[in-house]
Amino acid sequence: MERIVYLNGAYIPETEAKISIFDRGFLFADAVYEVTAVLDGQLIDNEGHLARLEHSAKELGIKLPMTSEALTAIQESLIEKNNLAEGSIYVQLSRGAESDRDFDYSEEIEPTLVLFTQTRKIVNTPKKKTGIKVISYEDIRWRRRDIKTSGLLPACLAKHAAHAAGADDVWLIEDGFVTEGGSSNAYIITQEGKLVTRPLSQDILSGITRDSLMKLSRDTGIEIEERPFSIEEAYAAKEAFISSATTFVWPVVEIDGKPIADGKPGRFTLKLRDIYINTAQKNL
Ligand code: PMP
């Protein structure tokens, strides 16, 4: 069935949604975006996602055409119009289109706002049982990874390479240390039982799921170390996992062909996944 999508003020069937070939999102990846999970027809951690959209847009000087409340109302309308029970909602804001291709842009340019829904299983996905295999891959992205732009070519190439190698995803490496996953934050549990993840900076995206997981992990009493870790430290970890809005928490059971511990999803990882989902459902 055709989705109803949102484009610059109109709710229209997806095949009728058209944007200019001069849109800077298309020509220069001059656009920011967000993905919010939907469970039982409700938005999960959406305030965090919209706050991050504001951060991304502000850092690039892209005008946000409306308040977070107005954006949320559009997200909710799309959930209803498309009968979305479980999946995600994508929001993209590009700087807009002018009458020709030009690197520079005028301050008066009007942004292009697009939203659409995506149906997918998040809670009962087989990946939570099997875990995923990742390969390490050089992080060739630009230096402002705290800004969520649609310039995702490095991630597309990395994920394609992972699939070609028989893996599910990548862990990106810079100067010998893991920055993050292909489209997720990366964590290990050390043999001593500490949760280790890279601290927030311009090197990584400040994951909204990460933010919730750090609070929930603290409540479990686990010791947390926010510091960079190497891929060798990850090979020797007791557990490894990723987080994002579209996976919540997925165990990582193999890195570069080496099983993590016994090669099965870790206990803390699965517990944290359950806690996250239960908390999200309770707050609906
Ligand atoms: N890092 C990167 C590079 C990502 O693309 C994502 C997915 N948005 C994340 C981390 C996780 O962020 P979130 O939990 O907000 O989805």
Q: What string of DSSP letters covers 100-125?
A: S--SS--TTPPPEEEEEEEE--STT-
Pocket lining: 92 vs ligand 1, CB cutoff 6 Å:
no
My answer on whether 115 and 78 are in the same domain is: yes
| Structure token digits, residue 178 | 């893991």
Pairing of strands 4-7, 10-13: antiparallel
CATH of the domain at 31: 3.30.470.10
> How crowded is residue 86: how many other Cβ atoms within 10 Å of its Cβ?
15
pLDDT score for 193: 98
My answer on whether 190 and 76 are in the same domain is: no
My answer on whether 44 and 142 are in the same domain is: no
| Structure token digits, residue 160 | 């394609």
DSSP structural state of residue 256: T
Site to substitute for ligand 1 among 205, 243, 248, most atoms within 8 A of C-beta: 205
Q: What type of residue is 26?
A: F
Half-sphere exposure at residue 129, Cβ-oriented, CA atoms within 13 angstroms: 4
pTM given for the model: 0.97
Among 84, 119, 154, give the residue marking a domain's end.
Answer: 119
Domain ranges, residue 40: 4-119
My answer on whether 89 and 170 are in the same domain is: no
| Structure token digits, residue 255 | 């890195």
CA-based max dimension of the chain: 59
The whole-angstrom separation of Cα 17 and Cα 5 is 8
Contact 7, 113 (CB under 8 A): yes
My answer on whether 105 and 165 are in the same domain is: no
My answer on whether 144 and 228 are in the same domain is: yes
Strand pairing partners for 33?
92
Residue nearest to atom 4 of ligand 1 (CA): 183
Ligand 1 nearest atom to the CA of residue 185, by list position: 10
Show pLDDT as tens, one digit a residue, over the chain (284 residues): 899 999 999 999 999 999 999 999 999 999 999 999 999 999 999 999 999 999 999 999 999 999 999 999 999 999 999 999 999 999 999 999 999 999 999 999 999 999 999 999 999 999 988 999 999 999 999 999 999 999 999 999 999 999 999 999 999 999 999 999 999 999 999 999 999 999 999 999 999 999 999 999 999 999 999 999 999 999 999 999 999 999 999 999 999 999 999 999 999 999 999 999 999 999 88
Q: Which residues are the active-site residues? A: 148
Contact 166, 135 (CB under 8 A): no
Q: How far apart are the first and last CA of the chain?
A: 27
My answer on whether 110 and 205 are in the same domain is: no
My answer on whether 55 and 170 are in the same domain is: no
> How crowded is residue 63: how many other Cβ atoms within 10 Å of its Cβ?
15
My answer on whether 130 and 265 are in the same domain is: yes
Ligand 1 nearest atom to the CA of residue 246, by list position: 16
My answer on whether 145 and 273 are in the same domain is: yes
Pocket lining: 244 vs ligand 1, CB cutoff 6 Å:
yes
Q: What separation in Å is there between the alpha carbon of 99 and the centre of ligand 1?
A: 33
Contact 136, 256 (CB under 8 A): yes
Q: What separation in Å is there between the alpha carbon of 91 and the centre of ligand 1?
A: 14
Pocket lining: 247 vs ligand 1, CB cutoff 6 Å:
no
Q: What separation in Å is there between the alpha carbon of 185 and the centre of ligand 1?
A: 6
Among 119, 146, 166, give the residue marking a domain's end.
Answer: 119
My answer on whether 152 and 107 are in the same domain is: no
Pocket lining: 56 vs ligand 1, CB cutoff 6 Å:
no
Nearest in space to 227 (alpha carbons), one of 205, 200, 201, 197: 197
My answer on whether 177 and 213 are in the same domain is: yes
Among 63, 97, 119, give the residue marking a domain's end.
Answer: 119
